[in-house]
Structure 1
Amino acid sequence: MDSISSKRSRRLNFSLIIEEIKNQVLQRLESVTSDNDFTSGDELGGSKESSIRRRRKAKDALTKSGEAGKAEQKKPTSAGATLVEEEKAETGNVTRAVFLKYIRAVGPVVFLIMTVIYTAYQGSSTYSAIWLSMWTDDSVLTNASRAGTSEYNNKNTMYLTIYALLGLAQGATVLVFALVSASRMVKASGELHTGMLENVMRSPMAFYDTTPMGRVLNRFSRDVDTLDVALPSTIRSFYSCMFRVTGTLITIAYSTPIFLVVVLPLGILYWFIQRFYIPTSRQLRRIESTTRSPIYVHFSETVSGAASIRSYGVQERFVAESRYRTDNNLSFYFASIVANR
């Protein structure tokens, strides 16, 4: 009997301990969820009225939060909230920093040497034309009665020798310029490509979430091709055009000084033409570059989802979309060529 009574007392004590733990847990829960209006006696007692009020408050809070969530969903998403934004084209003049960056990639000293070499080439070319004019206007050589004399032969040999040396100087300078410009511009393109690749590889994951892969391919394909092929050709054309026009003006001004009267009105006319042509051509090139990215984006997405496209039978829609994006890009490309002409 004593053992049975001891067991019952132990069970009773154990149940009392569990009940006390439950009460403590409930008290802590009520103290966290209750408002400041409730008294400590209500919290400890866990009265029915306070629990009903707490339930009502919790229900109202859930209802308000649900309504706020629905209202937030109904709000129109702002432009900055979109995951992938449309590629934007720059406007206005090309900043000086762009030119300086390319010059630094080529090498400032090398760029100066290239300018000096091409100046020497154009100077020898211009002076050869002036020398030829002096040769034909020489009074000794224009006198047919002196033909065959030693003075006639010496002057003729002098003019011929200097003219040949000027021709050799033109060939040597243009060859050195071509070698230096080709090697350094290829190196500059490689440095810019490496820098762009390092920036892309070190970009955070958000960059890959918000930037389509076709846009990255456009930078590494067409833009790098511009650095490799188009930009060196444009720089050589710039050198050639600038120095050739300057040399031509000097040559004509030397032989026909009255021509300088016409130069000023022509310069003003060309300045007005440039005011319209350069901004138009520059912006068309920028738009042509930005409209090329959607072609790569659509093509890469089409290739990756080819199985789904065929399963749903929407091949024609994707072909039409690809043609539309290609035609849109080519329209700006054609417009830039027409503006150039």
Structure 2
Amino acid sequence: MTEDFLDDIDELAEEELVEEQESQLYEHYRFVADKGQGQMRVDKYLAMHIVGVSRNRIQQAAEANCILVNEIPVKSNYKIKPLDTISVVMNRPPRELEIIPEDIPLDIVYEDEDLMVINKPPGLVVHPGFGNYQGTMVNAVAYKLKDTPEYDAKDPRLGIVHRIDKDTSGLIVVAKNAYAKAHLSAQFFNKTTKRQYVALVWGSVEADEGRIEGNIGRSLKNRMLMTVFPDGDFGKHAVTHYKVIERMSYVSLVQCRLETGRTHQIRAHMKHIGHTLFNDERYGGNEILKGTNFAKYKQFVQNCFSICPRQALHAQTLGFIQPRTGEELMFEAPIPKDMTLLLDKWRGYIANRDI
């Protein structure tokens, strides 16, 4: 298990810069301090209890909010107290995953010797994880590239460069070799990629366009949720730019451009300004947040939930520099059918509103 921990820590820097498929955390280590435990820094304590892990590695884990004491993330200088419960958590289960190539259809919008750009449908998990060890996009890519000599699905230097949530649709880039992965990852790190999303949100967004800035981190009350810490005490710096495309009474279609790429960034930022994504179950968007109390309206919204049974979020545009040629590549994925039908239904509501 120590080797798993080391591998995970090595990848933390990259993972904190991009959107993750889900926000679930898995406990890899748990210790309970003795009754007679004297005060000791948590990084020193863990270095003594986990064989083969340096304090520097543990400090990196703490910076990534992977060290919890009594279920609350702490910094590496936290002083352990008697009976404290110390956990080391990661965003993947503590087991080796065997990547099995699976013949799952992929909508490949572009491919060359270095990379592929895939239009991911809603409902497809990007990475294997708890409850989803097979049937993921990684399994599909492993099958697609099974005859490519340089590609090994288990090699972290290859493969998925960034992530989008299971129920978010849209564009994602896959590196076919280590050279491409390094260069593409650097572009995401340096914020030179171009990423634009479209989302249907609850409420009529007052300003035609705006900028949302606020640190994003895991909620201190519910570790499954990301939340905004406007004072900057917790979380990581995050900026989202939005522009209203269309207002439809109790909902708005917005375009969101990411300046940073935090976990659930758009979902958390839009909720923070009072415009939760439509049918976003995790953040409360699957409730009727705006509108009337008429039964006919409530039934209309329930029908909308059925048409698009997920958060109405689509990664529409992705742009980056081709690592080998230096060419600027830009891709756009059309809004998928479920969101298109949802938007048409709301437009019909506006045109014939009697509820």
TM norm structure 1: 0.23
Q: Name the one with the larger helix percent.
A: 1
TM norm structure 2: 0.23
Higher relative contact order (CA 8 A, sep 6+): 1
